[in-house]
Structure 1
Amino acid sequence: MDPNSGKKHLINRLSPEQLRERLANESFKRTTVSFYRYVIIDNPYEMRDMLFYMWNKWQCYGRIYLAKEGINAQMSVPDHYWQDFQEHLHSLPQFKNVPFKIAVEDNGQSFLKLQIKVRQQIVADGLTPEEYDVTNVGKHLTAREWNNAMDDGAIVIDMRNHYESEIGRFDNAILPDAETFKEELPEVVDKLKGKEEQKILLYCTGGVRCEKTSAYLKHHGFSDVNQLLGGIIDYSRQVETEKIENKFIGKNFVFDNRLGERISNDIISHCHQCGSPCDVHTNCANKKCNLLFIQCDKCKAQYDRCCSDDCQSFILAPPAERKELEQRLIFKRGKRFHKPEQSA
Structure 2
Amino acid sequence: MQEAPYQVLLYYLYTDIESPQEYRDAHKALCDELELRGRIIVGSEGINGTVSGTVENCKQYMEAMYADPMTQDIEFKIDPEQGHVFPKMSVKARDEIVTLGLGEEDFSPNECTGKYLDPKAWREAIRDPDAVIIDARNDYEWDLGHFKGAIRPPVPAFRDLPQWIRDNYEKFDGKKILTYCTGGIRCEKFSGFLVKEGFEDVSQLHGGIVKYGKDPEVKGEDFDGQCYVFDQRIGVPVNQVNPNVVARCVHCDIETERYVNCANKMCNAQHFCCEACEAESKRCCCDACRDVFTKEYEGVLQ
TM-score for both structures, normalised by structure 2: 0.89
Report the equivalent of 1:179: 156
What is the rounded CA distance, in whole Å, between the counterparts of 1:234 and 1:189 in structure 2? Answer: 30
Unaligned runs of 5+ in 2: none
Report the equivalent of 2:293: 312
SS at match of 1:172: coil
Mapping 1:48-197, distance limit 5 Å: 48-103=24-79, 106-134=81-109, 135-153=111-129, 154-193=131-170, 195-197=172-174
SS at match of 2:126: helix
Task: Label 1:57 to 1:141 Cα distance change in 2 as closer, same or farther (>3 A).
Answer: same
Percent identity between matched residues is 34
Unaligned runs of 5+ in 1: 1-27, 322-344
What is the rounded CA distance, in whole Å, between the counterparts of 1:109 and 1:312 in structure 2? Answer: 31
Task: Label 1:128 to 1:68 Cα distance change in 2 as closer, same or farther (>3 A).
Answer: same
What is the rounded CA distance, in whole Å, between the counterparts of 2:91 and 2:40 in structure 1? Answer: 5
After superposition, what is the alpha-carbon deviation per residue over 1:69-122, rounded to whole angstroms, capped at 9, x for unaligned?
A: 11110111211212211110111222113011224x745342111000111111
Report the equivalent of 2:14: 38
For the 8 Å contact 2:16–2:45, the answer to whether it is kept is: yes
Report the equivalent of 1:235: 212
Task: Label 1:286 to 1:107 Cα distance change in 2 as closer, same or farther (>3 A).
Answer: farther
What is the rounded CA distance, in whole Å, between the counterparts of 2:220 and 2:230 in structure 1? Answer: 26
For the 8 Å contact 2:134–2:177, the answer to whether it is kept is: yes
Shift of 1:294: 1.1
Report the equivalent of 1:325: none
Structure 1 consecutive aligned stretches of length 4 or more whose deviation exceeds 6 Å? none
Task: Label 1:314 to 1:114 Cα distance change in 2 as closer, same or farther (>3 A).
Answer: farther
Q: CA RMSD in A?
A: 2.1
What is the rounded CA distance, in whole Å, between the counterparts of 2:14 and 2:104 in structure 1? Answer: 13
Task: Label 1:112 to 1:268 Cα distance change in 2 as closer, same or farther (>3 A).
Answer: same
Residue identity matched to 1:300? E
SS at match of 1:242: coil
Report the equivalent of 2:223: 248
Task: Label 1:196 to 1:164 Cα distance change in 2 as closer, same or farther (>3 A).
Answer: same
Residue identity matched to 2:31? W
> Which stretch shifts more, 71-80 or 208-217?
71-80
Identify the match of residue 273 of structure 2 among 286, 295, 301.
295
For the 8 Å contact 2:123–2:218, the answer to whether it is kept is: no
Q: Figure out how many residues of one structure are paired with residues of the other and give that number.
A: 291
What is the rounded CA distance, in whole Å, between the counterparts of 1:310 and 1:222 in structure 2? Answer: 49
What is the rounded CA distance, in whole Å, between the counterparts of 1:110 and 1:314 in structure 2? Answer: 33
> Which structure: greater strand fraction?
2
Residue identity matched to 1:81? N
